[in-house]
Structure 1
Amino acid sequence: MLQRVAVIGGGAAGLCAARHILSRPSSFAPPVVFELSKSIGGTWCYDESVGTHSSMYRDLRTNLPKEVMNFPDFPFDPDLSSFLPHQEVQSYLERYCQSHDIRPHIRFNTPVEKVRLEGGAKKTTWQVTSSDSSGHQRSETFDSVFVCSGHYSKPHIPQIPGISNFKGQVLHSHSYRFAEPFSGLSVLILGAQASGLDISLELAKVGTQVTLSHARPRLTFPLPPQVQQAPGLEAVNQDGSLRFQDGSVGVADVLMFCTGYVFSYPFLDGTELGVDIQEHVVTPLYRFLFPPSFPSLFFIGLCKMICPFPHFDCQVRYALGVLEGSVLLPSQAQMAAEISQYQQKKAELGVERRHLLVMNQDQWEYCLDLARSACFPPLPPVVRALYEEVWRQRRIHPQNYRQINYRLVSATQWEVVEPRVEKL
């Protein structure tokens, strides 16, 4: 009997899940992909309206080169430059969808309302309740559920004492689309990770005075003269001025939170699953993928600071190996113990609980481990090598690193296609 799989989300992770399910017709029925919007692409689907699912801004370009971004078996057009505007990534996902004939299996404008456990002790099944555009609800039973709904749609807004005293505009980068409306204004940006830095550089180009406020060590690479750094924001004073952690005070017309996003799965009951779903961490999950008690509910793409599309591909292939039985799992108790040991090790290294899903260097061994366990080809070493080179360039030349184009020469080597500009 073929297994029925529900895939929640039609972004990159959901399309990857559908593609690999469709490639195994002897094990799985065609998937049902539930997509709450009218199109595929998830976070890559740009929508100029604010208040939508999209967090994409108009002039965003990828901060990873296409040579390491692609799914392992589906390259980008080699004629494109290495760092792509978001429209090219959306086009790539549409080609991926078309190439693997995924679209007939997607239900658009169909949010999932509830996922509930069904079945007895011997066989777990899942009741998935969805609603269509007319509000009509429908419940169906599946053998497995892949949660691919992403985590870039619900903004994280930290508590700032006195924020109601601020006289200007307050927004999160989720609502930022382009720089022009901020021309001539002073903007305080909270957060200096990828989006905070990118948006600061965009704003500087249109004559905005930017203060980049963050609690990290001071950035040492060159920034435009319009971008100043400040310590973390401590509070907003009664007169609307801004007080920083070093006691200094500033003013701004706009306060923009570039403080990331939180996990949100309103269709899941974490208590029923034995899973603690918090804003920044979902645990315990074996190999960051499934609750030990329920190895048929998979969260794809939870990890942060990763090379996303290859990461999704490894996770999906491992998960399908679990469902097919080719991946032999330890006992529930052993899986729980492994998770606990990992968390304890991270705690001893000083990693906060909220950062348990931040992978960085750990991602490579993780993906290799999944490939070994499920017997599929590992990511070629060149992916890691080029990923790390780009991170190095980004720290040295944040304004110019996207001008470099790369080419993969072999499974272990890459080269620069155009001469590197030494004086940037």
Structure 2
Amino acid sequence: MQVDQVKSICIVGAGAAGLAALKTVLDTPQFKANLWKPVIFEARSQVGGVWLPEDTPPTSELPATPLYDSLTTNLPHPVMCFPSFPFPPSTPVFPAAAHVQRYLEAYAAHFNLRPFIRLGTPVCDVRRASSKWTVRLGSDEILDFDLVIVANGHYRVPRYPAVPGLGAWLAANKASHSVWYRHPRHLGDKILVVGAGPSGTDIAAEMSGTCTTLVRSISGAAPEDSGHVKIRGRTTKFGANGQVHFEDGSVESGVDYCILATGYEVSVPFLSESLVHSGLPPPCPPLPGKLHNSTYHLFPLARHIFPIQSSFPPTSLAFMGLPVRVAPLPVMEAQAAAIAHFFAHPESFDADAEAQSVLARYAELGGDPAAIARLWSVFGFDEQFAYQDRLHEAAGADTRVPQWRKDGYAKKGVLRRFWVELERRGEADAWVRGVGRGGAHEWVDLLQRLLQAAEEWESTNPGERESTSPGV
């Protein structure tokens, strides 16, 4: 064995993406031949990433996770789990965050990942030096690596909308981002929740029980009042004395507090400006020669993973977990398979073909760089499944997303509403009791039976379509 055949691999983050990357690396013939030396660096005290709760309530400092007390998944776990590792028997179909955290810990234990994970070790700086990646850790330890996988997640740095007057509200402690939200509490008689995503929906539902009037700001929504809940359109101005203006011209006065469920920024602070330029990329074509972070997307990345640029080999650095509106864990496992393949066979990476594929997607999304940035990582329903199939194909695996996963994802809304109803009736536990003991196929059978019952229930209870929260 030649010394230069041995390659060291740095993985940043021990959330779901980092764990999937490590598990896949350990499965390779290169690792088994002692040619790959992987290690995960994780800043926190345990694996789990976004699913790991904080020991203490969040303070003014940026929380390590946006996890709130009542959070449950908005996907049935047979659909959202790693294909290689189902949830344990009897798990609720839409599990609470604690179930997901235990699942990720079990995944790490089952595949013997822990010996390769350094907890409490933040990565502070990654830069290219000669033919290596130089990584500086929080302890000021400096190590060199041949390959780097960035799996640090994208649910930590709050995204604040560019709305006039918001800064004054934040400074006066009249507004905060949902990253700090943990549970409902009285913040005033009139509360505004901005954002129509899953967390905004959950927070609005919880906060409605703490106030006299709840106002929801949803871009494009028509004004509507229902009981003590008011629906308004996009927020256009935060004024003095609790005044808030909306896109339809209406004004709400006397708003005591605002919670901004307005999403998160893509952040890779340990990558220097020499590697990732901050801001929108220039219009294409041609592709820019440097990687850009618009805070909505990293561009240009081949297959949403490998940076297309000329400063270093594109298959020496990989990004995981950037696509959104997907079932994330199966996507991560597919990404990990492709990463392992191209790490092992960089000569098979066709840079020209990959660049053309990126430009084709760019053309499909239109010509406005700002609009493209917002849409780039957002996958349509069928797109995520075709994406997984292509990644597995690139890795040389004859793996296709099964139809039942597609059906479960497509029907996640009605399934979630029906599951909430089963929990209300006290019948949910009976549905899952013992399921999974005979194998993963039992979860598939359950999901199909649950979907049939859910559709029958909703057809006879059409009002329930709007009356239950879809979760997060």
Length-normalised TM-score, structure 2: 0.80
Alignment partner, residue 102 of structure 1: 113
How is 1:52-71 mapped onto 2 (pairs within 5 angstroms)? Answer: 52-71=63-82
Alignment partner, residue 11 of structure 1: 15
Deviation at 1:205, TM superposition (A): 4.0
Gap change, CA 1:165 and 1:10, over 3 Å in 2 = closer
Alignment partner, residue 166 of structure 2: 163
Correspondence for 2:249 among 247, 260, 284: 247
Whether the 8 Å contact between 2:94 and 2:419 is mirrored in structure 1 is no
Correspondence for 1:87 among 94, 98, 105: 98
1:36 and 2:43 are equivalent in the alignment: yes
CA distance in 1, matches of 2:385, 2:423: 23
Correspondence for 1:345 among 338, 358, 364: 364
**Across the two proteins, how many residue pairs are aligned to each other?**
411
1:367 and 2:370 are equivalent in the alignment: no
Whether the 8 Å contact between 2:9 and 2:39 is mirrored in structure 1 is yes
Farther-moved stretch of structure 1 (141-150 vs 409-418): 409-418
Farther-moved stretch of structure 1 (149-158 vs 160-169): 160-169
Alignment partner, residue 283 of structure 2: none
Gap change, CA 1:177 and 1:224, over 3 Å in 2 = farther
- Structure 1 counterpart SS, 2:275: helix
How is 1:293-332 mapped onto 2 (pairs within 5 angstroms)? Answer: 293=309, 294-325=314-345, 328-330=348-350, 332=351
Deviation at 1:402, TM superposition (A): 7.9
1:26 and 2:32 are equivalent in the alignment: yes
Give structure 1 stretches of 5+ with no counterpart: none
- Structure 2 counterpart SS, 1:386: helix
1:297-347: per-residue Cα shift (whole Å, max 9, x none)? 1100011111010010000011101111188221x3332222112111111
> Which structure carries more helix by proportion?
2
CA distance in 2, matches of 1:315, 1:109: 26
Identity of matched residues, %: 27
Gap change, CA 1:247 and 1:393, over 3 Å in 2 = farther
1:267-304: per-residue Cα shift (whole Å, max 9, x none)? 11354362001211110000000112421211000111
Gap change, CA 1:342 and 1:402, over 3 Å in 2 = farther
Gap change, CA 1:82 and 1:358, over 3 Å in 2 = same
Deviation at 1:379, TM superposition (A): 2.5
1:284 and 2:326 are equivalent in the alignment: no
1:416 and 2:419 are equivalent in the alignment: no
Deviation at 1:146, TM superposition (A): 0.5
The AA in structure 2 aligned to 1:177 is R
CA distance in 2, matches of 1:344, 1:352: 9
CA distance in 1, matches of 2:91, 2:443: 19
Farther-moved stretch of structure 1 (348-357 vs 249-258): 348-357
- Structure 1 counterpart SS, 2:315: coil
Length-normalised TM-score, structure 1: 0.88
1:261 and 2:261 are equivalent in the alignment: no
CA distance in 1, matches of 2:195, 2:419: 15
Give structure 2 stretches of 5+ with no counterpart: 277-289, 436-440, 465-472
CA distance in 1, matches of 2:410, 2:135: 40
Alignment partner, residue 409 of structure 2: 387
Deviation at 1:225, TM superposition (A): 3.9
